[in-house]
Structure 1
Amino acid sequence: MEDYATQACTASLIRLNKFISNAGVCARREADQLIQSGCITVNGAVVRSVGTKIPIDAVVTYKGVVLHIEKLRYLLLNKPRGYVTTLQDPQGRKTVLDLVGKQYCAERIYPVGRLDYDTTGLLLLTNDGDLARKLSHPASKVPKLYHVVLNKAIQTEHLQAIQQGLLLEDGLAKVDQIAIVEEDPTQIGMVIHMGKNRIVRRIFSHLGYLVDRLDRVGYAHLTKQHVPRGKWIFLKDKEVRQLKNLV
């Protein structure tokens, strides 16, 4: 295939995987896989070379559908209980996207990370594949603040053990901060940046506690102060820049 750089002297160039990501199809890494598999055409020709740059006005198709770069959207949702954090659910349960009407956000957004079916609190949704991938990466240092309500009072030695780190079945689990809330030993505030599956519940289960309620009340610099349960807001430009500066 000819080098697009030679035919685009006046047109702005963009990496093909970024174009695909910005069109809301998937993150850049998955876009590279689509390119290599021959699923992508540019101006009618199949492109398989990862790293290809194309004119911003090129006609790009995926499975025969012309892709268009979407406006990047960043939403902060206060998730209630009873919703799954997926695009669709084979069991027919409600998803977090059901809380965001198409009339308010026509772009194809998706959740960054997950919250359990019974877990409430802050969830970021976006169509910015690059940012979503970076925030979800295990190396990400994005702090999350949780309010945990246990089935019984936590013992002081267990609080100290969690602070020092617990060895779970998939490795060491460490929290950044942990403390009793309002002198009630059944209520715990915890800051953690690990993104392992069900990590908060597993930490307490390892020590013999059940989590009755789990609420994510902070994500990075974001709080749910102005986001009622079941509602969402668009992030401000400043808030988006702060997120990007974290990764």
Structure 2
Amino acid sequence: MAAKERQRLDRVLAHMGFGTRKMIKKLIKEKRVQVNGRPAEDPGLHVIPGRDYIEVNGEPLVYEEYIYLMLNKPQGVLSATEDRYAKVVVDLLPPRYRAFHPFPVGRLDKDAEGLLLLTNDGELAHRLLSPKKHVSKMYYAVVDGIVTETDVEAFRQGIILNDGYRTMPGELTILRSGTESEVELTIYEGKYHQVKRMFEAVSKRVLYLKRIAMGPLRLDELLRPGEYRELTEEEIIKLRELL
């Protein structure tokens, strides 16, 4: 997305991941940055990204204000931007993407894996997480215990959690029932540890949890845990249609 406001050249290049202000100053001094066909001389030169033609090392700069990344979050990584003791999802990204200061849209338990959206678009994130929007989230889970049609009906009615809160109706599908059952569950809110607490309320324990969809986004099957890709234009449009 092109920005229309004038910005300092060094700020634009830093935003696009070309390094610190000091590194960018060196690029400019070495005549490796051109603006509208002329070598830039001043890091403080004001430009309009997307309108002014900027080249770095002979390559045209394609300016992006926002980024949208689909991550297959692995187990053991926190859905956060920083933590003193544990690895966070932003650590999985290269500097090029970290330069945009993306953050996870919502939480996914540390021991869970699957679809997590990372972006720096605060308005989109706020609306996707708004309780009024009821954006769906679909999970695949392995559960300790025999899941029955009685459980399916209980989830359909809404589960009363251990703090007395009754959840919105959820759609529970049994894939395989046994001493360890496989299920898919779609919920429309995001309470703390909600999936695990819903199963605990019917005397069962989640052994493995993977988010496979969020609203119109479905986890790309080609992404292994820890891998990511940018959303397609079609996926971004579908997200914005929710708003």
Q: TM-score, structure 2 length as denominator? A: 0.69
Q: Distance in 2 between matches of 1:70 and 1:133?
A: 20
Q: Which residues of structure 2 form unaligned runs of 5+?
A: 6-14, 16-46, 49-62
Quick check: 1:86–1:96 contact (8 Å CA) kept in 2?
A: yes
What is the 5 A alignment of 1:110-129? Answer: 110-129=103-122
Equivalent AA in structure 2 for residue 158 of structure 1: D
In the alignment, the residues of structure 2 paired with residue 138 and residue 246 of structure 1 have an alpha-carbon distance, to the nearest angstrom, of: 13
Q: Cα distance, 1:171 vs. partner?
A: 2.1
Deviations 1:138-174 (A, max 9, x none): 1122111100111121233222211111222252213
1:245, 1:226 → 2: CA distance? 25
Partner of 1:214: 209
1:241 aligns with 2:237: yes
Aligned to 2:226: 230
Q: Which residue of 1 aligns with 2:130?
A: 137
Match of 1:72 in 2: 66
* Alignment partners' CA distance in 2, 1:197 and 1:140: 18
CA distance in 1, matches of 2:204, 2:176: 19
* Cα distance in 2 for residues equivalent to 1:227 and 1:100: 14
Q: 1 CA distance for matches of 2:186 and 2:72?
A: 18
Of 160, 168, 171 in structure 1, the residue corresponding to residue 165 of structure 2 is: 171
Question: Which residue of 183, 189, 207 corresponds with 1:188?
Answer: 183
CA distance in 2, matches of 1:241, 1:188: 30
Counterpart of 1:30 in structure 2 is none
- Do the aligned partners of 2:90 and 2:98 also contact (CA within 8 Å) in 1? no
Structure 1 pair 170–96 and aligned structure 2 pair: CA distance change class (3 A) = farther
**Using the alignment, how far apart are the partners of 2:126 and 2:164 within structure 1?**
22
1:159 maps onto 2:152 in alignment: yes
Aligned length: 184
Identity across the alignment (%)? 32
SS at match of 2:238: helix
Structure 1: how far apart are the matches of 2:213 and 2:186? 9
1:29 match: none
Determine helix, strand or coil for the equivalent of 1:202: helix
Instruction: Work out whether residues 175 and 190 of structure 1, in 8 Å CA contact, stay in contact via their aligned partners in 2.
Output: no
Q: Which amino acid aligns with 2:78?
A: V
Between 191-200 and 122-131, the greater mean CA deviation after superposition: 191-200
Superposition deviation, residue 199 in structure 1: 0.8
Contact kept in structure 2, 1:77 and 1:124, CA below 8 Å: yes
Note if 1:149 corresponds to 2:142.
yes
Q: Which amino acid aligns with 1:165?
A: G
8 Å Cα contact 1:70-1:107 kept in structure 2: no
Aligned ranges for residues 8-157 of structure 1 at < 5 Å? 71-90=65-84, 92-157=85-150
Q: CA deviation at 1:235?
A: 0.4
Structure 1 vs Structure 2 CA RMSD:
2.4
Larger radius of gyration: 2
C-alpha separation between the residues in 1 aligned to 2:72 and 2:145?
A: 26
Give the TM-score, by structure 1 length.
Answer: 0.68
Letter in 1 for 2:242: L
Aligned equivalent of 1:9: none
